[in-house]
């Protein structure tokens, strides 16, 4: 418990993302109008890292055995190291944070496995609303290859209709911020999707959505 803050993480409910992997949600309420939500995805699994490294080095050793060229081995080492550094610095997201400060704005930040943080702040004047959007996520498994296409339809959470007649498709939900142009307050100028790497499921999103709406209603 922090001083003066309410800090609770949902230990009794386990959240998963749309692929079934376990994620965790942490909500921190700093004040009546300031809340912070952190969704953490699974860490880099050591088993996969070892598997990839062994595969690459084994194939490099086989090539060396055939061609007797030592450059193959050094290039394999360099490739593995560079690939790992690129992966943890640019690809693997550790946790994503949403900080909502009433009457000031919303800050979205994602933190990568290497510690790099990428932050974006949106002023309250530009925010029209925070909603949960529904997307039809067409997943076709062709020999374990997954092809994704998303068709966006904007509807508020009350009007969700899940069409179960569509074969081999899943409906995914994502939380997003609708932005408005200050000159035209009625039109939605763009959409900023949140928690894109962690992709939590609806139960997690609903909690975040309710908290955000409470704060947005106050201002």
Partner 1 sequence: MVLKIFFPQCCNKADSGLLVGRWIPGQNSAVVLAVIHYPFIPGQVKQYIHQMRGQSGVDLTVLGSWSMPKEGQEGMESFLRDLSTIFPQGQWLQLSREMGKIGFRCHVLTRDQSKSLFASQVAPIVPYIRHLLLTRAHGVFGTVCQSEPLFFLDKYDDGPVKMTHWQSEGREGSIIVELMKQASTPVCLLTTWMLTLWTSLCSSRILNMRPMRFISSKLSTCLQLSYRTEHLQTVCSPTRATAHNHFMRKANIFVSFFVDVSLGLLLVSWMYRENRIGKLANTLVPAADHVAKELEELLQWLMGAPAGLKMNRALDQVLGRFFLYHIHLWISYIHLMSPFIEMILWYVGLSACLGLTFALSLLSDITALLTFHIYCFYVYGARLYCMTVYGLSSLWRLFRGKKWNVLRQRVDSCSYDLDQLFIGTLLFTILLFLLPTTALYYLVFTLLRLVVVMFQGVLHLSVDFINSFPLFAMGLRLFRSYRLAEGVKFRVLCEEPGTPLHLMMDINPLKVSSVVQTYRTPTYSCYPKDSWLALCKKLFLGELIYPWRHKTTKID
Regarding 183 and contact with partner 1 (CB under 8 A), the answer is: no
Among positions 16, 26, 27, 36, the unique one binding partner 1 when judged by CB under 8 A: 36
Q: Nearer to partner 1 by C-beta: 36 or 129?
A: 36
Footprint (CB under 8 A) of partner 1, residues 40-99? 99
Q: Which residues contact 53 (CB under 8 A, 6 or more apart)?
A: 80
Regarding 191 and contact with partner 1 (CB under 8 A), the answer is: no
**What is the rounded distance in angstroms from the CA atom of residue 123 to the CA atom of residue 109?**
14
51 exposed, middle or buried (CB, 10 Å; 0-12, 13-18, 19+)?
Answer: exposed
Regarding 213 and contact with partner 1 (CB under 8 A), the answer is: no
How many residues sit close enough to partner 1 to count as binding (CB under 8 A)? 22
Regarding 2 and contact with partner 1 (CB under 8 A), the answer is: yes
Regarding 182 and contact with partner 1 (CB under 8 A), the answer is: no
Among positions 31, 59, 67, 69, the unique one binding partner 1 when judged by CB under 8 A: 31
Regarding 205 and contact with partner 1 (CB under 8 A), the answer is: no
Regarding 109 and contact with partner 1 (CB under 8 A), the answer is: yes
Cβ proximity of 63 and 81 under 8 Å = no
Regarding 29 and contact with partner 1 (CB under 8 A), the answer is: no
Regarding 103 and contact with partner 1 (CB under 8 A), the answer is: yes
DSSP of 96-119, one letter per residue?
Answer: EEEEEETTTEEEEEEEETTS-EEE
Regarding 5 and contact with partner 1 (CB under 8 A), the answer is: yes
């Amino acid at each position: 418990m922090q001083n003066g803050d309410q800090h609770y993480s949902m230990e009794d409910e386990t959240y998963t993302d749309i692929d079934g992997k376990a994620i965790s949600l942490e909500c921190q309420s700093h004040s009546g109008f300031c809340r912070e939500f952190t969704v953490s995805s699974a860490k880099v699994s050591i088993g996969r890292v070892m598997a990839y490294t062994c595969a690459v080095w084994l194939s490099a050793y086989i090539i060396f055995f055939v061609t007797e060229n030592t450059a193959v081995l050094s290039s394999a080492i360099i490739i593995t190291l560079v690939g790992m550094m690129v992966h943890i610095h640019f690809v693997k997201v550790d946790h994503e944070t949403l900080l909502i400060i009433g009457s000031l704005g919303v800050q979205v930040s994602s933190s990568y496995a290497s510690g790099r943080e990428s932050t974006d702040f949106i002023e309250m004047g530009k925010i029209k609303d925070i909603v949960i959007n529904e997307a039809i996520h067409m997943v076709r498994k062709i020999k374990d290859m997954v092809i994704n296409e998303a068709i966006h339809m904007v509807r508020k959470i009350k009007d969700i209709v899940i069409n179960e007649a569509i074969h081999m498709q899943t409906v995914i939900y994502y939380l997003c911020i609708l932005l408005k142009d200050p000159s035209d307050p009625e039109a939605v100028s763009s959409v900023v999707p949140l928690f894109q790497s962690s992709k939590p499921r609806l139960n997690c999103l609903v909690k975040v959505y309710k908290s955000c709406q409470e704060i947005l209603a106050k201002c």
